[in-house]
């Protein structure tokens, strides 16, 4: 073999080995967390281990559509995970425990199932005893029917109700608002001289006066990002996925541990006064925290902070009451 | 007809005669090709950000259809890396012309396959799956690898470049359209070839290999099957091979009478029209059908695709020909006049590709900086946002290409009709209708 | 007729078809609103017809994943998540036919998720077909005279 042939062969062999070897090495040394639509696998891996106090570096990429990443109950800005791009995130955990990370951009009917866990180990710091949520301490059966037998003829207005407020302090207390339904407040006002429409207006005012404006704004944003795709942008239960959820029905649930008696339901219509005026904030808290147990309503307990849930509830009542002119 | 012999320029001639420039390009292309396979298999599954999709279907395709084929004919084949490993194994050498003992089976390709029907079929197979192929990096990687290994396999069984000549889905249409290109490889003096002993250009010699494309240069009259590999320039003992610059569409003056080539013209024309409608049109149902391979909608799509190419397009063409009176048989007229569709089809592809390429060219910068989707930023362009280019001149450019193609094919029709002594009018009307449909789809 | 002359005639006719402005139909501009549903990989409606000068508002409703709209020629874009309808208002001051396409990677067929915005009549199409007809005529005539 002459010299030029030898050199050519060496060049070809070296080139081929290098072009196969080098990318494989880089690829193997860069562990990525892949995000896919839940139908195609969701997060992979979906369990991440971390240690208390040590920074956790993650590289995330999306394999199909736009996703987002956030850790539940943590004060963090969610970050977008874009198709074909890599997003670097550094997290730090102060307390051990199991955290839930979830997708924050809608990526299809099953978007809310796109969750994973971060298991943070370490010695527990002085943990404050967690108090049970309000619906638990009130011992509410959140699956029991709660329809209001009487509904107002027109939308109750907090503006109109403002001047009519009777001198009954318990009605205006924060605890009262959280643990009673609007219909209960309406009943409790029956021993006053107000007419029925006036009593509803007062109820609207009570609900408004227990709600901060920034809570409403925050709740509105949370609603748009997390609820509107099913419950509708105007709360009417007619979001873009509402029809899909209804038609998904039984077949969609067979994939979930064979729970055949629970089927996907149409999302609740928040503009329905019978249903909503009979529900107390505590009851709604339970529904949001626990979720619909197979109805298609996700469990939000591991995602939202308590504050966020109250904000959301405050906003949901605004579909029933007029807070402004 | 004036021709300029490029090989008269010493620089060009030496560049072709020496093996080293070509080898250098070969090595780069082969490495790039293998990298594209790897990127398709291990890179991000997102097509528009994967190196393999972006470099094969946007960058390479743009260069091929907008530059290489119209101006250099089979110029791509001259530097294509696909046949190389097979050829090197076949020859037992990369550079040195070997002893003449065949290394492998070295069989002759059976006569029934010595046409381009296999290429027509392989192109159609890819065309029917193109929506998946074009958007799924894995599939692109597998197809690229499959072509490489098929070429090796065929090289081990048959003599010369059987893959390129008879099977390559891309080679088929490059060959068809290369007839319109202004570059050709031809002999200088026929008499020299007639008296040449041993025909080393075809049989090989101690300084080079016999034509890998199984073509005797002395008989070359058109570009279709000459791969511009430059081997005959090296082997010709009489310096009788030239690479010429010539007028566009010189080969189209002598119509072919082969049905495989005639149908290739219909396949390419039909595919361009269908892609313009399915991929660039506003009809989501078609896109779903084309993408969901295996579904009943896809079978419908495949059925429509094939019936347009093998039924509707040649059908109306034949109907038009029935109206003409001539001595040639209908089959002869059909094959001869189908050459009209070559400039038309080429310009259809140019117009279609302009839209696709200009819209998506900005992906090239992003994937160049992060070819494996691992979050790199090699050249600082990884975060280049998607931005269609030149959208305001796109429509005029497409209109110009299509109307220009129509004029070109009308002239071709007149020449071809003259050869078989029939009226060119029906074919010109046919081309006009096809152009109008394409204009409607694209504008 | 001398072939040079007829070619000149055809060329002039070609220029006449390609360039002069057509009489613009006098339709008073109005405000129009379209709700455009976007799902993998199509828009509904996929064709939007407006008159030149209209103030067009697009309400983008994504029905599965995040989608967007980029309008060729106008070079404007916006995007919407499911459950968060977004609107874009613009004045359709450029006549012609424009593709609009998804500008947020939304799955495999994303590059081909396309709709059409038609502002007035599609002059380019008619002019091009006219040019094509003239070209065919020109080629035929000039050839006849050569023979």
The first and second tokens of residue A246, run together, are 């209804």
Length of chain C measured in residues: 147
* CB contacts, 8 Å: B394 with chain C: 72
- How many C-beta neighbours within 10 Å does residue B111 have? 7
Query: CB under 8 Å to B329, separation ≥6 — which residues?
Result: none
Torsion of CA A169, A170, A175, A180, to 10 degrees: -130
Query: CB under 8 Å to A303, separation ≥6 — which residues?
Result: A72, A73, A100, A102
Q: In what order do the strands lie in the sheet with A97-102?
A: A47-51, A115-121, A97-102, A67-71, A79-81
Report the alpha-carbon distance of residue B126 to residue A117 in Å, rounded. 42
Tokens 């993650």 locate to A58
Per-residue pLDDT averaged across C50-58, rounded? 94
Closest among B172, B167, B137, B139 to B152, alpha carbons compared: B167
**Would the CB atoms of B373 and A23 count as touching at under 8 Å?**
no
Query: CB under 8 Å to A199, separation ≥6 — which residues?
Result: A186, A189, A190, A192
**Does any CB of chain A come closer than 8 Å to the CB of residue C61?**
yes
Report the alpha-carbon distance of residue B154 to residue B90 in Å, rounded. 10
Cα B435-B437-B443 angle, rounded to 5 deg:
90
The first and second tokens of residue A5, run together, are 């042939």
Ordered DSSP codes for A264-317 = --PPP-TT-HHHHHT--HHHHHHHHHH--SSSSPPP-TTTS-HHHHHHHHHHHH
Cα C134-C136-C139 angle, rounded to 5 deg:
105
Q: Which chains have at least 3 CB atom pairs separated by less than 8 Å from chain A?
A: B, C
Closest among A228, B105, B76, B325 to C63, alpha carbons compared: A228
- Using N-to-C axis directions, what is the helix angle for C3-18 and C123-146, rounded to 10°? 180
User: What is the reported pLDDT for C147?
Assistant: 46
**Tens of pLDDT along A85-133?**
999 999 999 889 999 999 999 998 889 889 999 999 987 766 666 788 8
**Does any CB of chain A come closer than 8 Å to the CB of residue C82?**
yes
Does the structure show a pLDDT above 80 at C4? Answer: no
Q: Hey, CA dihedral for A182, A187, A188, A191, is it positive or negative?
A: positive
Length of chain A measured in residues: 325
Q: Hey, CA dihedral for A196, A199, A205, A210, is it positive or negative?
A: negative
**Would the CB atoms of C85 and A65 count as touching at under 8 Å?**
no
**Would the CB atoms of B46 and A84 count as touching at under 8 Å?**
yes
Closest among A226, A123, C128 to B396, alpha carbons compared: C128
**Tens of pLDDT along C5-38?**
677 777 777 777 777 776 666 778 899 999 999 9
Length of chain B measured in residues: 443
Pairing label, strands C31-39, C55-62: parallel
**Does any CB of chain C come closer than 8 Å to the CB of residue B439?**
yes
Query: CB under 8 Å to A59, separation ≥6 — which residues?
Result: A30, A31, A32, A33, A86, A87, A88, A89, B375
Query: Residue C19: CA atoms inside 13 Å, Cβ hemisphere, count?
Result: 6
- Using N-to-C axis directions, what is the helix angle for B341-360 and B259-278, rounded to 10°? 30
**Which uninterrupted H or E stretch holds B302?**
helix B296-307
**Residues paired with C100 in a beta bridge:** C71, C115
Residues A16/A24, Cβ–Cβ less than 8 Å: no
User: What is the reported pLDDT for A251?
Assistant: 54
- How many C-beta neighbours within 10 Å does residue C139 have? 22
Among partner residues C42, C44, C105, which is closest to B287 by beta-carbon distance?
A: C42
Report the alpha-carbon distance of residue A15 to residue B62 in Å, rounded. 26
The first and second tokens of residue B2, run together, are 């004036």
Chain C residue whose CA is closest to A232 = C83
pTM (2 decimals)?
0.91
How far is CA B178 from its chain centroid? Answer: 8
Closest among B321, B350, B284, B409 to B313, alpha carbons compared: B321
Beta-sheet strands, E only, within chain A: 33-35, 43-44, 47-51, 56-62, 67-71, 79-81, 86-91, 97-102, 115-121
User: What is the reported pLDDT for A323?
Assistant: 86
Query: CB under 8 Å to B170, separation ≥6 — which residues?
Result: B64, B76, B123
Q: In what order do the strands lie in the sheet with C76-80?
A: C47-50, C114-119, C96-101, C67-71, C76-80
The first and second tokens of residue A125, run together, are 């710091």
**Would the CB atoms of B280 and C99 count as touching at under 8 Å?**
yes
**Does any CB of chain C come closer than 8 Å to the CB of residue B288?**
yes
> How far does C26 lie from chain B, in Å, by closest CA?
24
Residues B259/B424, Cβ–Cβ less than 8 Å: no
Report the alpha-carbon distance of residue B188 to residue B232 in Å, rounded. 13
pLDDT in tens, chain B (443 residues): 588 999 899 999 999 999 999 999 999 999 999 999 999 999 999 999 999 999 999 999 999 999 999 999 999 999 999 999 999 988 888 887 766 677 788 888 898 888 899 999 999 999 999 999 999 999 999 999 999 999 999 999 998 899 999 999 999 999 999 999 999 999 999 999 999 988 999 988 888 888 999 999 988 989 999 999 999 999 999 999 999 999 988 888 887 788 999 999 999 999 999 999 999 999 999 999 999 999 999 999 999 999 999 999 999 999 988 877 777 888 888 998 999 999 999 999 999 999 989 999 999 999 999 999 898 999 988 888 899 988 888 999 999 999 999 999 999 998 888 888 888 889 999 999 999 999 999 98
Residues C132/C103, Cβ–Cβ less than 8 Å: no
User: What is the reported pLDDT for B55?
Assistant: 94
Closest among B248, B281, B420 to B347, alpha carbons compared: B248
Residues A102/A70, Cβ–Cβ less than 8 Å: yes
Report the alpha-carbon distance of residue A244 to residue A253 in Å, rounded. 13
**Does any CB of chain B come closer than 8 Å to the CB of residue C4?**
no
The first and second tokens of residue A185, run together, are 């407040």
State the burial class of residue B287 (Cβ atoms within 10 Å of its Cβ: 0-12, 13-18, 19+).
buried
**Would the CB atoms of B287 and C109 count as touching at under 8 Å?**
yes
Report the alpha-carbon distance of residue C7 to residue A96 in Å, rounded. 86
User: What is the reported pLDDT for A260?
Assistant: 47
User: What is the reported pLDDT for B1?
Assistant: 57
Does the structure show a pLDDT above 70 at C116? Answer: yes
Report the alpha-carbon distance of residue B107 to residue B165 in Å, rounded. 14
> Residues of B numbered 65-124 whose beta carbons fall under 8 angstroms of chain C's beta carbons: which are they?
none
User: What is the reported pLDDT for B100?
Assistant: 65
**Which segments of chain A have a pLDDT < 70?**
1, 125-129, 167-171, 248-264, 325
Report the alpha-carbon distance of residue B77 to residue B229 in Å, rounded. 7
Query: CB under 8 Å to A278, separation ≥6 — which residues?
Result: A146, A147, A148, A181, A182, A183
The first and second tokens of residue B430, run together, are 């046919």
Residues C52/C119, Cβ–Cβ less than 8 Å: yes
Among partner residues A2, A12, A84, which is closest to B50 by beta-carbon distance?
A: A84
Phi, psi of B361 (to 5 degrees): -60, -25
Query: CB under 8 Å to B401, separation ≥6 — which residues?
Result: B347, B350, B351, B354
Among partner residues C83, C85, C105, which is closest to A106 by beta-carbon distance?
A: C83
Beta-sheet strands, E only, within B192-270: 241-245
> Residues of B numbered 265-284 whose beta carbons fall under 8 angstroms of chain C's beta carbons: which are they?
278-284
Phi, psi of C36 (to 5 degrees): -110, 115
> How far does A48 lie from chain B, in Å, by closest CA?
19
Phi, psi of B279 (to 5 degrees): -80, -40
| Mean pLDDT taken over chain C | 87
Query: CB under 8 Å to A202, separation ≥6 — which residues?
Result: A161, A164, A165, A166, A171, A185, A189, A194
**Does any CB of chain A come closer than 8 Å to the CB of residue C51?**
no
Report the alpha-carbon distance of residue A282 to residue A300 in Å, rounded. 15
């Amino acid at each position: 073999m002459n010299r030029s042939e030898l050199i050519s062969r060496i060049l070809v062999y070296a080139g081929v080995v290098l072009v196969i070897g080098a990318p494989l090495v880089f690829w193997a040394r860069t562990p990525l967390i892949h995000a896919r639509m839940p139908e195609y696998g969701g997060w992979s891996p979906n369990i991440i281990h971390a240690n208390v106090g040590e920074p956790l570096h993650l590289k995330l990429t999306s394999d199909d559509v736009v996703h987002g990443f956030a850790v539940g109950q943590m004060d963090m800005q969610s970050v977008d995970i874009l198709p074909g791009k890599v997003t670097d995130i550094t997290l730090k955990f102060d307390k051990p425990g199991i955290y839930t990370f979830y997708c924050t951009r809608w990526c299809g009917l099953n978007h809310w199932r796109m969750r994973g866990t971060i298991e943070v180990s370490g010695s527990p710091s002085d943990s404050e005893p967690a108090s049970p949520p309000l619906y638990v301490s009130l011992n509410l059966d959140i699956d029991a029917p709660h329809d209001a037998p009487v509904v107002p003829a027109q939308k109750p207005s907090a503006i109109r109700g403002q001047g009519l407020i009777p001198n009954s302090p318990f009605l205006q207390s924060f605890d009262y608002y959280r643990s009673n339904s609007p219909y209960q407040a309406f009943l409790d006002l029956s021993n006053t001289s107000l007419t029925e429409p006036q009593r509803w207006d007062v109820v609207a005012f009570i609900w408004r006066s227990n709600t901060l404006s920034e809570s409403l704004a925050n709740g509105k944003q949370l609603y748009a990002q997390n609820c509107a795709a099913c419950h509708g942008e105007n709360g009417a239960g007619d979001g873009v996925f509402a029809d899909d959820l209804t038609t998904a029905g039984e077949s969609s649930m067979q994939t979930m541990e064979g729970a055949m008696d629970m089927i996907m339901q149409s999302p609740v219509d928040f503009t329905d006064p019978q249903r909503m005026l009979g529900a107390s904030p505590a009851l709604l808290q339970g529904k949001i925290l626990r979720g619909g147990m197979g109805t298609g309503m996700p469990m939000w307990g591991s995602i939202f902070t308590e504050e966020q849930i109250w904000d959301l509830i405050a906003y949901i009542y605004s579909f029933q009451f007029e807070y402004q002119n | 007809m004036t021709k300029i012999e490029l090989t008269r320029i010493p620089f060009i001639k030496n560049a072709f005669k020496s093996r080293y420039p070509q080898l250098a390009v070969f090595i780069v292309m082969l490495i790039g090709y293998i990298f594209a396979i790897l990127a398709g298999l291990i890179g991000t599954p997102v097509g528009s950000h994967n190196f393999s999709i972006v470099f094969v279907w946007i960058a390479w395709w743009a260069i091929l259809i907008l530059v290489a084929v119209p101006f250099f004919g089979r110029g791509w084949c001259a530097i294509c890396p696909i046949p190389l490993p097979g050829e090197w194994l076949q020859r037992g050498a990369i550079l040195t012309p070997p002893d003449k003992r065949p290394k492998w089976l070295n069989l002759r390709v059976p006569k029934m396959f010595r046409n381009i029907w296999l290429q027509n079929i392989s192109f159609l197979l890819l065309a029917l799956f193109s929506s998946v192929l074009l958007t799924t990096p894995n599939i692109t990687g597998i197809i690229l690898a499959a072509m490489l290994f098929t070429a090796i396999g065929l090289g081990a069984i048959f003599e010369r470049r059987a893959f390129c000549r008879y099977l390559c889905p891309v080679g088929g249409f490059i060959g068809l359209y290369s007839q319109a290109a202004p570059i050709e490889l031809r002999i200088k003096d026929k008499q020299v070839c007639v008296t040449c002993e041993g025909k080393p250009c075809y049989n090989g010699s101690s300084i080079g290999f016999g034509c890998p494309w199984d073509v005797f240069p002395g008989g070359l009259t058109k570009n279709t099957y000459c791969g511009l590999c430059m081997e005959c320039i090296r082997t010709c003992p009489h310096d009788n091979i030239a690479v010429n610059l010539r007028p566009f569409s010189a080969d189209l003056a002598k119509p072919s009478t082969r049905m495989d080539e005639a149908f290739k013209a219909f396949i390419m024309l039909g595919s361009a029209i269908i892609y313009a409608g399915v991929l660039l049109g506003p009809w989501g149902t078609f896109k779903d059908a084309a993408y969901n391979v295996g579904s009943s909608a896809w079978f419908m799509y495949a059925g429509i695709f094939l019936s347009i190419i093998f039924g509707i397009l040649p059908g109306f063409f034949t109907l038009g020909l029935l109206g003409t009176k001539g001595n040639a048989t209908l089959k002869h007229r059909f094959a001869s006049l189908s050459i009209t569709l070559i400039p038309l089809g080429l310009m259809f592809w140019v117009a279609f590709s302009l839209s696709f390429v200009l819209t998506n060219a900005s992906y090239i910068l992003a994937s160049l900086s992060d070819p494996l989707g691992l979050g790199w930023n090699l050249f600082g362009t990884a975060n280049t946002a998607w931005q269609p280019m030149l959208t305001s001149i796109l429509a005029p450019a497409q209109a110009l290409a299509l109307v220009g193609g129509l004029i070109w094919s009308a002239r071709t029709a007149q020449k071809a009709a003259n050869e078989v002594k029939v009226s060119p009018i029906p074919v010109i009307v046919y081309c006009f209708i096809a152009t109008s449909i394409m204009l409607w789809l694209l504008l | 007729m001398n072939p040079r002359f007829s070619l000149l005639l055809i060329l002039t006719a070609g220029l006449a078809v390609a360039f002069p402005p057509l009489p613009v139909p006098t339709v008073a501009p109005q405000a129009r609103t379209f709700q455009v549903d976007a799902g993998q990989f199509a828009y509904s409606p996929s064709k939007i017809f407006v008159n030149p000068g209209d103030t067009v508002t697009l309400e983008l409703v994504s029905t599965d994943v995040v989608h967007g709209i980029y309008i060729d020629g106008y070079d404007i874009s916006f995007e919407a998540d499911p459950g968060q309808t977004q609107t874009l208002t613009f004045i359709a001051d450029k006549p012609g036919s424009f593709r609009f396409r998804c500008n947020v990677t939304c799955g495999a067929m994303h590059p081909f998720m396309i709709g059409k915005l038609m502002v007035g009549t599609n002059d380019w199409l008619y002019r091009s077909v006219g040019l094509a007809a003239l070209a065919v005529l020109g080629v035929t005539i000039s050839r006849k005279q050569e023979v």
